[in-house]
Amino acid sequence: MNFVELGKVVEIKGGGTPDKSNPNYWGGSIPWASVKDFKSTVIENTIDMITEDGVKNSATNIIPAGSIIVPTRMAVGKAAINKIDMAINQDLKALFPSAGIDTRFLFHCLLANSEVLERQASGATVKGIKLDVLRALQVPVISMKEQKRIAAILDQADALRQSRRLAITRLNDLSQSIFYEMFHPGADDADNEIQLSDYFSEIKMGPFGSLLHKADYIENGIPLINPTHIIDGEIIPDPSFSISPAKAKELHKYLLKEGDIILGRRGDMGRCAVVDGKMEGFLCGTGSMILRPDKSKVDPYFAADLIRSKKVIKEIEAVASGVTMLNLNSKSLNRVFVPKVDRAKQKEYFQKINSLQAKKSYMQESLEKFERLFLSLQQRAFRGEL
């Protein structure tokens, strides 16, 4: 199988951000994508909208539907196809294949090379890749007929795992509905609210950059957990993003304990997970914070569900700071108010969602099987074995 540099077979177009301080540029009818919108491999809508003036007076570009969009910062290695025309920000790049390159084939090729791109990302806290690195990525050169055949196989395998993801999302939405019905305070329920921080005996931000340097990172050491390692309420450590036991000992104040909640404080708000026994001893990363529940007041898993609820995420977003990327600090949580729920009511909540959790576990196991199938086909495809 022959290969060619990506830059030789695609046109790359970037984006930009309209002036955030100008209200005439925001809240319009034009979708404007950022890394926040990379929830899956398809972008059907965006969190933010801009106006035509916002497009004219910034470096953004309108990307036609059906294009490949990749992040070059914060979510390196991801790729998505936009289902609608949209503008993009400066952390995204749109790829337009030349004649002889099938869009779906190239899309799958990029996903297959996600780890290659991730390894080449640099940056102490927010990792990104230079455009030259993206252009230099090696992609296979095969006939259009073979490209379409491989893309069709991978599309079918991908559809199976996407269907399971959708089912899990719907179950999560149902859990959110139960949560909302039981605990959403009305206009006259202000007296039944407390500060979110009141549920925790300790809140601690991860070590600042001055405590960690590039030379401290090693392979397969003590994992550091940043927001990118918290996925769908689970901690997914990265073996390449870890430090030595000796360095971890220096930073012992930031070691996670079973029952802790690790909360991402940069980027997407509400991204959190409960630390189980297997994860105890991992280190809170610079982009995260440790919330140590007062177990006389709150079950850790209830606290995590509370933080992930739509109402609380909105409140956290409101108190977070930052123009291009939201940033949360421990004091900000004192301005987030949540329902006051005693342990008996928390127990009642878990009784109601237990049956949903059983269905979710089944769907999760099924998803993992389809994920393995997809990855196997993907690896074989780009080794010339499919």
User: CA triplet 159, 238, 370: central angle to 5 degrees?
Assistant: 20
Tokens representing 268? Answer: 């997407």
Alpha carbon distances (Å) from 315 to 199, 209, 287, 304, 382: 16, 27, 19, 15, 45
Instruction: Please give the structure tokens belonging to residue 169.
Output: 């999302």
Q: What's the residue count for the chain?
A: 386
* Tokens encoding 107: 């899309």
In this structure, what token pair is assigned to residue 75? Answer: 């979510």
Determine the average pLDDT of the residues in 151-176.
Answer: 88
Cα torsion angle, 322, 326, 329, 332, sign: positive
Nearest to 282 by CA among 231, 239, 319, 341: 239
Predicted local confidence at residue 192, as pLDDT: 81
181 contact partners, CB below 8 Å, separation of at least 6: none
* Cα atoms in the Cβ-side hemisphere of radius 13 Å centred on 70: 30
Buried b (16+ CB within 10 A) or exposed e, 206-233: bbeeeebeeebbeeebbbbbbbbbbeee
Over residues 190-206, the mean pLDDT reads 89
Residue 90's identity, in one-letter code, is Q
Burial of 266 (0-12, 13-18, 19+ CB in 10 A): buried
- The residues facing 277 across adjacent strands are none
With contact defined as beta carbons under 8 Å apart, do 235 and 261 qualify?
no
Instruction: Check pLDDT > 90 for residue 267.
Output: no
pLDDT recorded at residue 190: 58
CA distances from 309 to 173, 187, 271, 304, 313 (A): 10, 18, 11, 9, 6
Q: What is the mean pLDDT of residues 293-301?
A: 94
> What pLDDT score was predicted for residue 273?
94
CB 42 within 8 A of CB 67: no
Dihedral, CA of residue 125, residue 13, residue 30 and residue 231, to nearest 10: -30
pTM across the whole model: 0.61
Per-residue pLDDT band for 254 (boundaries 50, 70, 90) equals very high
Question: Quick one: pLDDT at residue 185?
Answer: 54
pLDDT at site 135:
94
The three-state secondary structure class of 88 is strand
Residue predicted with more confidence, 123 or 16: 16
Cα separation, 51 vs 278, in Å, equals 48
**Among the residues of 138-240, which ranges form H helices?**
144-183
Sole residue written with tokens 């960690």:
212
Give the model confidence (pLDDT) of 79-116 as tens digits: 999 999 999 999 999 999 998 999 999 999 999 999 88
H helix or E strand, kind and range, residue 360 = helix 343-381
2-141 and 188-340 share one fold = yes
pLDDT given for residue 186 in this prediction: 53
Architecture of domain 2-141: Alpha-Beta Complex (3.90)
Rounded to the nearest 5°, which phi and psi values hold at 337? -110, 140
Going 340 to 344 to 350 to 351, the CA torsion angle's sign is: negative
- Quote the percentage of the chain above a pLDDT of 70: 97
Q: So where are the chain's domains?
A: 2-141, 147-183+342-386, 188-340
- Pairing state between β 86-88 and 26-33: parallel
CA distances from 168 to 37, 99, 157, 297, 369 (A): 19, 38, 17, 29, 14
What class has domain 188-340? alpha beta
Backbone angles phi, psi at 60, to 5 degrees: -70, 165
Taking all residues of the chain, what is their mean pLDDT, rounded to a whole number? 89
Task: Determine the Cα–Cα distance for residues 172 and 155; give it in Å rounded to an integer.
Answer: 25
Query: Residue 187 above 50 pLDDT?
Result: no
- How far apart CA 80 and CA 67 sit, in angstroms, is 8
- Quickly state the pLDDT bin for 125 (edges 50, 70, 90): low
* Rounded Cα gap, residues 64 and 33, in angstroms: 12
